[in-house]
Structure 1
Amino acid sequence: MADMLAGRLHLADRTLRMESVAVPEPAPGQVRIRVEAAGVCLSDVHLIDGTLTPLYLPGDVVTLGHEVAGVVDALGDDVEGWEPGRRVLLQAGERDRRGTVFTRGVDYDGGWAEYAVASEDTVVPIPDDLPFEQACIIPDAVSTPWAAVTDTARTRPGEAVGVWGVGGLGAHAVQLLRLVGAAPVIAVEPLATARDRAVALGADAVLDPADPAFRDAVLELTDGRGLDVAFDFAGVTAVREQALTVLGRRGRLVLAGIAGKPVTIASDSPFNYFQQAVLGHYGSESEHVVQLVSLARQRRLDLSGSVSDVLPLAEAEEAVRRVHTKQGNPIRLILRP
């Protein structure tokens, strides 16, 4: 089989190299897809800079990319129900029988390549009118906040919510919270451009976390009761500390961002009295991706504004630089082979 271009992370020196590698052959139970679009996530940047390290990667080199969409190209033995040419996206990972989660582009080769292989049960069909550039970001960029909103927080209609960080995850959280009927949806962002984006995405109010009147503003927006749910999509210690000061009775703080730092509750007395909770959140389950594809198909979810730019796969290093420096304040950059 011919060779292909792939973005390979070498863990020994934490370098991303664009390399020519063999096109993978699908093993029994696997499907090979021709990649049409792959998202660039902040997690990819953290893998390169050493903030994150694969837990289950058997070697020290991996093709990055856990947000992937394309066309079925070839089938391994014993695969049924799929045919070449079918438009699909790939789940961001898979779980083994013991419950261990293996993440695509982290623990095994991902989609920053011309072709990728996947277990057949991680392949999800997408409608013909859903662009690959939008479909590829549903796993993770959209499904992670969707799972945080619907499962971890169990957000109910009419609940007052705050979203700290309106980047790749938080921007979608604003849309999804409106979809489930949360109100008001308050976006908290230090960047003025990101606050403007939050308004365009449907936030009922936007606040600067550095505003001395921040707590008073939240109480005014919530008729004095405080937030029912606060979402930390920034992964910053100061965010958690601030969010805890504006939680209401039975309020939940959901940690969707990863700070790698201790979580501190200033005083257990009000925390206990108001029966508040801190909830950890990570990723999503396969059904969340399927739900979102259905919502997109039924025109309940518009991801057209999520694609900040599309770059050739060969320019993966430039895409990583732009995400790292937040150049242009992107929601998602997409690589196209």
Structure 2
Amino acid sequence: MTLMRAARLHLPTHTLTIEEVPRPTPGPGHVLIEVAAAGVCMSDVHLIDGTLGRPPHLQGDTVTVGHEVSGTIVELGDGVTQFTLGQRVVLQAGDIRGGQMHTRGVDFDGGWAEYALASVESVFPLPDSLPFEQAAIIPDAVSTPWDAIVRTAAVRPGEAAGVWGVGGLGAHAVQLLRAVGAFPIIAVDPLAAARGRALDLGADLALDSGDPTFREQVLSVTKGRALNAAFDFAGVTPVHEQALSVLAPEGRLILAGLSGRPLVVNDSTMFSYLKHEIRGHFGTKLDAVPQLVDLVGGGRLDFSRSITDVLPLEKASVAVERLHTKEGNPLRLILKP
């Protein structure tokens, strides 16, 4: 039996350990990937600390973490003809199983390992020009805000947009809103370092959510129009009330950050009068990742500044702690087996 190293989460004790486990073998319609890079996401942190609860489709109490994965195909399952050995690829963050979406590294073993299995439907080729580290974060860190912007919110050029929470998702949302022509783009975060990062990435204004002149500044920069679209990537309940207070008539509030808490509209009359909308958002459509790979490969998008640090797989717990404490203001940390 061939073994490999993997970062395994033991759910009952919330412990993450590096273990030697059997190297998987691809069945029909699957490929085996030698992992080159795997992203560390706040949802990984929340999975490990138990905030997200038990994965709904996980069999057993242990799982290899990691849903942002890129690498090279090293083994083909029966019937796989659309890919070749040695091909550079990135993996979708989940697979459709039994008609339902199962998340990689949550509901089944993911990419914080030397090797990872994937169905051919969740595998997308990479151009040689796109580094593995940048490619790995496209599923979720980039594709989730992309779909939130272009599909759920349907942002049009010239529309004013606000982004609450300038972490891994929100920082990319700022870049993507700029790419689709939103204006102005207002970033909101209580951390000064995060606000500075938002301005570096293209926000027109960065505000502290606790600023007593918050509403006045939003109305000033939008010339009194307020926001057409507001994105909650923080998953914090007070964001909803603040975002609704600066939404334009027929504005959309998009909930992409997960909190698990009740959703409350304090002034239902004004909500109805202004024809506001609250739209939930989760994950991405299957075509988002290849779209973004093409946009990066074609020079329309650049995520080279997104990679804060690259750590060996053995430092997975260190990476989780750094993201949890925001040590060094990380945008995305990468594990390299």
Query: What is the aligned partner in structure 2 of residue 304 from structure 1?
Result: 304
Deviations 1:201-246 (A, max 9, x none): 0001111111100001101111112100000000001111111110
Query: What is the aligned partner in structure 2 of residue 277 from structure 1?
Result: 277
Equivalent positions of 1:11-50 (< 5 A) are 11-50=11-50
Deviations 1:280-300 (A, max 9, x none): 000101101111001001111
Q: Does 1:164 align with 2:168?
A: no
**SS of the counterpart of 2:230?**
strand
Identity level (%): 60
Query: What is the aligned partner in structure 2 of residue 237 from structure 1?
Result: 237
CA apart distance, 1:81: 1.3
Number of residues of Structure 1 aligned to a counterpart in Structure 2: 336
Deviations 1:5-38 (A, max 9, x none): 1000111211111101111111111100100000
The 2-side partners of 1:46 and 1:233 are apart by: 14
Query: What is the aligned partner in structure 1 of residue 261 from structure 2?
Result: 261
Once the two structures are overlaid, the 10-residue window that deviates more, 46-55 or 164-173, is 46-55
- Whichever residue aligns with residue 255 of structure 2, its letter is L
The 2-side partners of 1:37 and 1:97 are apart by: 28
CA apart distance, 1:121: 1.1
Unaligned stretches of 5+ residues in structure 2? none
CA apart distance, 1:97: 5.3
CA apart distance, 1:255: 0.4
Query: What is the aligned partner in structure 2 of residue 55 from structure 1?
Result: 56
The 2-side partners of 1:72 and 1:49 are apart by: 32
The 2-side partners of 1:2 and 1:96 are apart by: 27
Query: What is the aligned partner in structure 1 of residue 10 from structure 2?
Result: 10
The 2-side partners of 1:275 and 1:97 are apart by: 38
Query: What is the aligned partner in structure 2 of residue 175 from structure 1?
Result: 175
Runs of 4 or more consecutive aligned structure 1 residues displaced over 3 Å after TM superposition: none
Equivalent positions of 1:220-235 (< 5 A) are 220-235=220-235
Query: What is the aligned partner in structure 1 of residue 69 from structure 2?
Result: 68
Q: Does 1:144 align with 2:144?
A: yes
Deviations 1:255-297 (A, max 9, x none): 0001111111111111111110001000101101111001001
CA apart distance, 1:71: 0.3
Deviations 1:150-179 (A, max 9, x none): 000000000000000110000000000000
- Structure-2-length-normalised TM-score: 0.98
**SS of the counterpart of 1:45?**
helix
The 1-side partners of 2:27 and 2:146 are apart by: 32
The 1-side partners of 2:10 and 2:98 are apart by: 29
CA apart distance, 1:189: 1.1
- Whichever residue aligns with residue 71 of structure 1, its letter is T
The 1-side partners of 2:188 and 2:263 are apart by: 19
The 2-side partners of 1:146 and 1:288 are apart by: 8
**SS of the counterpart of 2:287?**
helix
Deviations 1:95-135 (A, max 9, x none): 2353x110000011000000001001110001001000000
Query: What is the aligned partner in structure 2 of residue 331 from structure 1?
Result: 331
- Whichever residue aligns with residue 94 of structure 1, its letter is D
The 2-side partners of 1:73 and 1:309 are apart by: 26
**SS of the counterpart of 1:169?**
helix
- Structure-1-length-normalised TM-score: 0.98
